[in-house]
Structure 1
Amino acid sequence: MAAEFHRPTRFPPGMFEGFHGGDDPAAISRVAHDTAAALLSRVRADPDPETVQRLVEYTDRHGIDTIAELWAQASAKSLPGALWRIYLLRTLIRQDAAGTSLAFQRGTEVSHTIDQVVAGAAIPTGPDEVRDLADTILHGVFTGDFAVALDRAAAFCRVAAAGFADLADDADASDAVHPDRSGDLTRRALRLTELAAELASCARLWRHDSLD
C-alpha cells in the first residue's frame, strides 16, 4: 500500500457514513481494509487542504463511533488498525489534554530517550501543545511521510506512558484521598505503552510495503 495509489477522488462531507460491513466478520474485515486503503490513497494522491482538514476534525464534529465501527476490530498490524489508533490517540488527548500534557511533561523528565524529540511536541508542553501535536500527526498521515507520522505518535505514547507511570508512583505514595488514582494512572500508562508498540510495528510494516 505504501507505493501504489488510486486515481484521486474528492471525498464528500459525509465521507464515512455510507460504509457498512454487515454482520459477516469477513465482510467487516474487507470493508475495513477497503475503506482505509481508499481513503488514505486518494487523499494522499490529492491532498486538498479542505478535505484533509475535514478528516482531521471529523471526530470533533461526529464523534469517534463511526470510525470505531469501521476500523476498531481490524488487526493492530494493518492499515485500518493503524488509522484507528491514530484517531483514537487524538481523541484520548483531546478528552484530557491537561492530564496528558502533564504526563508528557513528566515523561520528558524521567525518560532518557530521544522519544520527546521524535514526537516533536513544543516544550514546555501544555494542553494546547498536545492538542496541536495530535492534529499535526494526523495531518502527516494524509500529507506527509506516513511512517514518520506513526513513529511520532508512538514516541509521544512512550513519553506520556513514562510520565503516567511516574505520576502513578507519586499517587501510590501520597494520595490517600483518591486511592484509585494510582491504578487509573497505571492503566493509562500500560495502554499507551501498548499503543506505542502497535504504532511502531505499523510504521515498520509500511516502510517494507507490507501494511495492508
Structure 2
Amino acid sequence: MSTSSSSYGSSSIRAAGSGFAASGRFTRPAQLDPALMEHLSGGVDPQQLSEISHTTAASLLDRVHHTQDPQTVERVLTLVEHEGVDLVAELWSGGDPDSLPGVLWRLYMLRTWMRRNRESISRLWRIGEPVAGASSAIAGVDQAPTAEDIARTADSILSGAFVGDFAVAMERASAFCAVISAGLVAEARRRQERDAELRGSGAISSSGAAHLMKTARSLHSTSKDFKAGARLWREGRLE
C-alpha cells in the first residue's frame, strides 16, 4: 500500500477534545436552542457547561427525530462544516464516552475523519475487511469500497443516528472502526516486517508502523465506546 502513515494518524478520531480545542470564537447554529447557545460566548463554569452539553445533545436529537425534514437533517449532518469544529468541541467533546454528548461528539468526529481520509480508508477497508469478519456486514460497506462509498457511509451513519435507530447507527460506527483498526494493524505488521528486512540488509527505514498501531488502538477504543453506547441507548440509560 503506497499511502504514507501520515494519511492515517493526523486526522484520526480523538477520544477526547484535546485535538480539537475550542478557540473561544463561536457562532450560533440555527439547529440548536438560542437560549442555551448564548451562554457560550461569555463562558460558563464546568457544571453549567455539562448541563448545556447534555441538554443540547438531547434537544438536537429529539428535534430531528420529530421533524425528519430533509433540510433540517442536512443542516445537522453538516454542523461541523457550517458552524466549525470549535463550537461542537465546546459543546460535547468533554462528554464521557458513555454519555449522549460524548457519543455525538465521536459520531461527528468519525464522519469528519472518514470524509477527510476517504481514499486511505477505502484501501484500509480492503485490508481489514477479511480479518474483521461480520463487522463489514454490520457496517454496511461493500468488500471493495471506493472513496466515495466511504464518504456516503460516513453520512449515512451520522444521519441514521438522527432519523433512524440510534443504537443501530452506533453499532454501524463501532463495526466500521473495528474493520479499519484491523486494517491498520495488518498494514503496520507488514511495514514492521519490511523494516526488519531492511535492517538485516543494513538499510535505514522509517515506515511509521508504530504510528499506525497507535491509531489502530485509538479506533479500537472508539469502537468499544460506540458498542457500549448502543447498549446503554437500548437500556434507556444514555443521557
Same fold flag (TM > 0.5): yes
Which residue is equivalent to 1:15? 31
Query: Hey, what does 2:225 align to over in structure 1?
Result: 198
- Counterpart-to-counterpart distance in 1, 2:192 and 2:219: 19
Aligned pair count reads 200
Is residue 28–residue 70 contact of structure 1 (8 Å, CA) maintained in 2?
yes
Quote how far apart the aligned CAs of 1:65 are: 1.8
Question: CA separation of 1:31/1:183 partners in 2, compared to 1, >3 Å: closer, same or farther?
Answer: same
Cα displacement (A) at 1:204:
0.2
> Could you say if the C-alpha distance between residues 100 and 178 of structure 1 is closer, same or farther in structure 2, counting changes exceeding 3 Å?
farther
Instruction: Tell me the alpha carbon deviations over residues 102-156 of structure 1, each in whole angstroms, 9 at most, x when there is no partner.
Output: 1122111222x31000000133112111111010011101110000000000000
What is the root-mean-square deviation in Å for CA atoms of aligned residues? 1.9
Q: Which amino acid in the other structure matches residue 189 of structure 1?
A: A
Query: Could you say which residue in structure 2 is the equivalent of 1:185?
Result: 212
Q: Deviations over 1:18-67 (max 9, x none)?
A: 52453411111101000001000111011111010111122233432211
Shift of 1:14: 3.5
Unpaired segments of 5 or more residues in structure 1?
1-11
Q: Residue 33 in 1 paired to residue 49 in 2? A: no
Of 201-210 and 93-102, the range deviating more from structure 2: 93-102
User: Which residue does the alignment assign to 1:85?
Assistant: 106
Q: Distance in 1 between matches of 2:87 and 2:120?
A: 26
1:1-212 maps to which residues of 2 (within 5 A)? 14-16=30-32, 18=34, 19=37, 20-21=39-40, 22-111=43-132, 113-174=133-194, 179=206, 181-212=208-239
Query: What CA distance in whole angstroms lies between the structure 2 residues aligned with 1:200 and 1:69?
Result: 24
The residue aligned with 2:4 is: none
Whole-Å Cα distance in 2 between the matches of residues 187 and 165 of structure 1? 9
Assess if the C-alpha contact under 8 Å between 1:17 and 1:66 holds in 2. Answer: no
Distance across 2 between alignment mates of 1:17 and 1:46: 15
Distance 2:92 2:81 in 1: 17
Q: CA deviation at 1:192?
A: 0.6
Q: TM-score, normalised by structure 1?
A: 0.88
Residue 102 of structure 2 aligns to a residue in which SS? helix
Once the 2 structures are TM-superposed, how far is the Cα of residue 13 of structure 1 from its aligned partner? 5.4
Distance 1:52 1:178, change over 3 A: farther
Greater mean deviation of Cα atoms: 131-140 or 173-182: 173-182
Q: Distance in 2 between matches of 1:159 and 1:52?
A: 27
* TM-score, length of structure 2 as denominator length: 0.78
Structure with bigger gyration radius: 2
Please tell me whether the aligned partners of residues 52 and 139 of structure 1 are also in contact (alpha carbons under 8 angstroms). Answer: yes
Rounded to whole Å, the distance in 1 between the matches of 2:46 and 2:182 is 36
Distance 2:217 2:125 in 1: 14
